């Protein structure tokens, strides 16, 4: 997903270099949108991973005391 964001950013920069303002604006908007989605999914993944690690540590502790 991050590759798509970087691709659209490169398209936006090249289009801006050649003077295609509309295409550059659209590509930059798409790149920004995809990057935000990537960040949200990444942060969600980190949060879920931390929650699972905490739960598995709690289970190990309860199993070892029994």
Q: Please check whether residue 23 is in contact with residue 15, taking contact to mean a CB–CB distance below 8 angstroms.
A: yes
E strand segments, 1-66:
none
What pLDDT score was predicted for residue 62?
64
**pLDDT at 41 (0 to 100):** 96
- 3-class DSSP assignment, residue 19: coil
The 10s digit of each residue's pLDDT in 4-61 is 989 989 999 999 999 999 989 999 999 999 999 999 999 999 999 998 887 776 666 6
pLDDT score recorded for residue 61 = 65
pLDDT at 47: 94
- Domain count within the chain: 1
Q: What is the pLDDT of residue 64?
A: 63
Q: b or e along 13-32 (b: 16 or more beta carbons within 10 Å of the residue's beta carbon)?
A: eebeeeeeeeebeebbebbe
CA distance 33 to 35: 5
**pLDDT given for residue 55 in this prediction:** 75
Domain range holding 16? 2-65
């Amino acid at each position: 997903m991050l590759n798509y964001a970087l691709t659209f950013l490169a398209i936006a920069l090249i289009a801006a270099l050649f003077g295609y303002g509309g295409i550059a604006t659209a590509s930059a908007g798409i790149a920004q949108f995809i990057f935000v989605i990537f960040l949200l999914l990444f942060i969600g993944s980190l949060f879920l991973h931390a929650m699972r690690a905490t739960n598995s540590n709690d289970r190990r502790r309860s199993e070892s005391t029994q």
